[in-house]
Amino acid sequence: MAVEKMALAKAINASLRTAMEDDAKVLVIGEDVGKLGGVFRVTDGLQKDFGEDRVIDSPLAESGIVGTAIGLALRGYRPVVEIQFDGFVFPAYDQIVTQLAKMHARALGTVKLPVVIRIPYGGGIGAVEHHSESPEALFAHVAGLKCVSPSTPADAYWMLQQAIHSDDPVIFFEPKRRYWDKGEVNTSAIPGPLHEARVAREGTDLTLAAYGPMVKTCLEVAAAAAEEGTSLEVLDLRSMSPIDFDAVQRSVEKTGRLVVVHEAPVFYGSGGEIAARITERCFYHLEAPVLRVGGFHAPYPPARLEEEYLPNLDRVLDAVDRALAY
């Protein structure tokens, strides 16, 4: 078994390398992905080893990058697009929503569009404006797109390969504040389904459901609550579209309470969809209303204020206390 401890960013690099070695049709395209290796060095060394024809430094034009990737996919390639920062994806939103998401369905499945769009997202790194957004709900709302986000290096490694192998377009949200978090990666493992949630910590009193950067925060909350005798279950959703509602239901039927946590604003966020569905499914099991913790309904603030904006241990614990008080 090939088990190695690596950072999440390195796991993505290793996953891209493996996918490119296995299939000559896999390409990487984006701003500064080649010679620089990406602003976070996630694609470091790939152009040197695979050449400029497969690791392509693009112009600063997100719509052109995605449009080119669509054309490549129609010609049989499997392009992996890197959007340099979350806030830069919006110039390409039209291409993604009106073309990429719809062609596969309009062609009744005869046209494959195996495009992966990697987006470093979320805050916590003290970045300037337009570099700390969490736009996942905008894409999860669009039929025809799959949206996933790993929280561990192991998931980053395997979920990216699964996304590349998928014939459907996948938006791959990478939690940039977790790029340097390390964990064990078994490159010989047999991964579970791409859109299946996992229980990151067993518990009995309340379920914390999260994805991406907030999974680690929820694990810290569960550890703090355990010191006071409260048992919290942490469910890593892993996928925002589709959502593994069966896994959430199983957990809530056991614990009777649910708090959904994400960095994106609570207003019209993915937590609202989860709350509504679980209230329908688990009405007679719930001991309290489903609560949500997330960002505020305001533009992302300057770096010096982001800790006031982002969910943290205290804000999540407050929601846990309110749910347990019912």
| Helices marked H in 239-298 | 245-255, 270-281
- Read off the tokens for 298: 């305001």
Does residue 165 contact residue 193 with C-beta atoms inside 8 Å?
A: no
**Residues whose CB is less than 8 angstroms from the CB of residue 108 and which lie 6 or more positions away in sequence, other chains included:** none
Catalytic residues: 131
Looking up tokens 């009777």, which residue turns up? 256
Q: Which residues of 258-294 are buried (b: 16+ CB within 10 A; e: fewer)?
A: bbbbbbbbbeebbbbbbbeebeebbeeebeeebbbbb
CB atoms within 10 A of CB 18: 16
**Residues whose CB is less than 8 angstroms from the CB of residue 272 and which lie 6 or more positions away in sequence, other chains included:** 266, 292
